[in-house]
């Protein structure tokens, strides 16, 4: 469904991604696993039109995808929840969830309908109560995370990209988000799940790609490697230290 092919990206002297190639299938939860600085968020930003590759090609449904701006990616069905929680602090929770939707629907959603819509999206996965009329900036970080997730879900994406979204969430919300991810994948949505937590990887993934130093060191079906083997591929030094106590 989606393929990145020989993608490279540098920031000055720093090589953030080097010749990265991964093929993603519709209806799967595809985990991107890697240590800090391994290039995960760079891949996320490339797949959202926030940064542009120095070289390489992206294919969508088998055809080269030439979109460069975030709007082109959104139009093609991508929705991304970034690692940095991007919220309009002075706007209500409802406004934050429906941000940009009027444009997508080519009409304004009536006021009465807005609140209902926002509540319905949140109800799909939020176990924590999120007050709809409060300025989003007043919410604790965990609730803001739920709001930006709701914004992505509201767009009904065919490709949903989640960059380290679970760090701030409490246990009940995290479990409910995982359930929703499985449900969406079951409906054919491709989910890119970015994490460095091994427990989440084994529980959730259909396929796994490991990034190390900007390189894709492997892509495989979940269950092929043990967590120890994955850790070794992701962080050989850490794995060695653990093995030697
Ligand atoms: N805007 C930027 N300017 C300069 N260097 C950058 C920029 N963004 C990322 N980098 C560098 O590129 C490399 C990859 O960063 P990236 O954010 O993709 O890693 P990551 O795997 O998402 O890490 P983390 O787990 O900490 O989120 C790192 O060395 C980082 O310092
Ligand atoms: Mg990151």
Same domain for 27 and 71, yes or no, is yes
> Residues for the chain: how many in total?
245
For the ranges 80-89, 101-110, 162-171, 202-211, the lowest mean pLDDT is seen at 101-110
Same domain for 163 and 235, yes or no, is yes
- The sign of the dihedral angle between the CA atoms of 192, 197, 203, 207 is positive
Nearest CA to ligand 1 atom 19: 37
Same domain for 172 and 227, yes or no, is yes
| 201-239 CB burial, b ≥16 within 10 A, e <16 | bbebbbbbbbbbebbbebeeebeebeeeebbbbbbeeeb
Q: Do the domain assignments include residue 215?
A: yes
Q: What share of the chain is helix, strand, coil (3-state, %, to 5)?
A: 40, 25, 35
Dig out the tokens for 175 from the structure.
Answer: 């479990």
- Judged against a pLDDT cut of 80, whether residue 11 lies above it is answered with yes
Select from 39, 82, 234 the residue to mutate for testing ligand 1; criterion: most ligand atoms less than 8 Å from CB.
39
pLDDT band, residue 103 (cuts 50/70/90) = low
Which three-class secondary structure state does DSSP give residue 162? strand
CA atoms within 13 A on the CB side of 6: 4
Same domain for 73 and 176, yes or no, is yes
Same domain for 60 and 171, yes or no, is yes
What residues contact 234, with CB distance under 8 A and at least 6 apart? Answer: 33, 34, 35, 38, 196, 210, 211, 212, 217
What phi and psi, each to the nearest 5 degrees, are found at residue 90? -90, -10
Same domain for 96 and 206, yes or no, is no
Q: Do the domain assignments include residue 169?
A: yes
Which of 134, 156, 178 is the last residue before a domain boundary? 156
Same domain for 117 and 181, yes or no, is no
CA geometry: angle 59, 161, 111, nearest 5 deg: 115
Q: Do the domain assignments include residue 83?
A: no
pLDDT score, position 112:
80
Q: Do the domain assignments include residue 14?
A: yes
Residues 47-69: tens digit of each pLDDT = 999 999 999 999 999 999 988 89
Select from 4, 31, 34, 40 the residue to mutate for testing ligand 1; criterion: most ligand atoms less than 8 Å from CB.
40
Q: Do the domain assignments include residue 15?
A: yes
For the ranges 38-42, 44-48, 105-109, 174-178, the lowest mean pLDDT is seen at 105-109
Output the CA 40–ligand 2 centroid distance in Å: 5
Owning domain of residue 189: 2-77+157-243
Which of 135, 156, 177 is the last residue before a domain boundary? 156
Same domain for 57 and 7, yes or no, is yes
- Domain CATH number, residue 37: 3.40.50.300
pLDDT score, position 106:
60
Same domain for 99 and 206, yes or no, is no
Which of 122, 156, 190 is the last residue before a domain boundary? 156
Q: Do the domain assignments include residue 84?
A: no
pLDDT score, position 135:
97
Same domain for 225 and 151, yes or no, is no
Nearest CA to ligand 1 atom 17: 41
Output the CA 121–ligand 1 centroid distance in Å: 31
Select from 14, 51, 82, 164 the residue to mutate for testing ligand 1; criterion: most ligand atoms less than 8 Å from CB.
14
Give me the number of domains the chain comprises: 2
**Model confidence, pTM:** 0.94
Same domain for 98 and 54, yes or no, is no
Same domain for 12 and 51, yes or no, is yes
- Of the chain, the percentage scoring pLDDT greater than 70 comes to 97
Ligand 1 atom with the smallest distance to the CA of 42 is 18
Q: Do the domain assignments include residue 141?
A: yes
Report DSSP state, residue 138: G
């Amino acid at each position: 469904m989606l393929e990145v092919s020989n993608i490279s990206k540098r920031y000055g002297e720093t090589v953030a991604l080097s010749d990265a190639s991964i093929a993603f299938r519709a209806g799967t939860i595809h985990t991107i696993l890697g240590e800090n600085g391994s290039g995960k968020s760079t891949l996320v930003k490339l797949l959202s039109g926030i940064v542009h590759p120095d070289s390489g090609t992206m294919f969508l449904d088998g055809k080269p995808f030439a979109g460069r701006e975030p709007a082109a990616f959104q139009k093609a069905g991508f929705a991304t929840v970034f690692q940095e929680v991007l919220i309009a602090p002075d706007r209500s929770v409802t406004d934050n969830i429906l941000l940009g939707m009027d444009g997508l629907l080519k009409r304004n959603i009536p006021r009465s309908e807005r609140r209902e819509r926002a509540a319905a999206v949140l109800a799909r996965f939020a176990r924590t109560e999120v007050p709809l009329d409060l300025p989003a900036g007043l919410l604790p970080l965990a609730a803001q995370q739920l709001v930006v997730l709701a914004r992505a879900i509201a767009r009904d994406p065919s490709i949903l990209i989640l960059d380290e979204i679970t760090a701030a969430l409490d246990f009940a919300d995290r479990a409910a988000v995982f359930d929703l991810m499985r449900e969406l994948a079951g409906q054919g949505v491709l989910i890119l799940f970015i994490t460095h937590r091994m427990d989440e990887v084994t529980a959730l993934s259909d396929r796994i790609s490991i990034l190390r130093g900007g390189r894709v060191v492997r892509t495989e079906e979940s269950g092929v490697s043990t967590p120890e083997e994955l850790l070794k591929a992701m962080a050989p030094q850490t794995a060695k230290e653990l093995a030697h106590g």
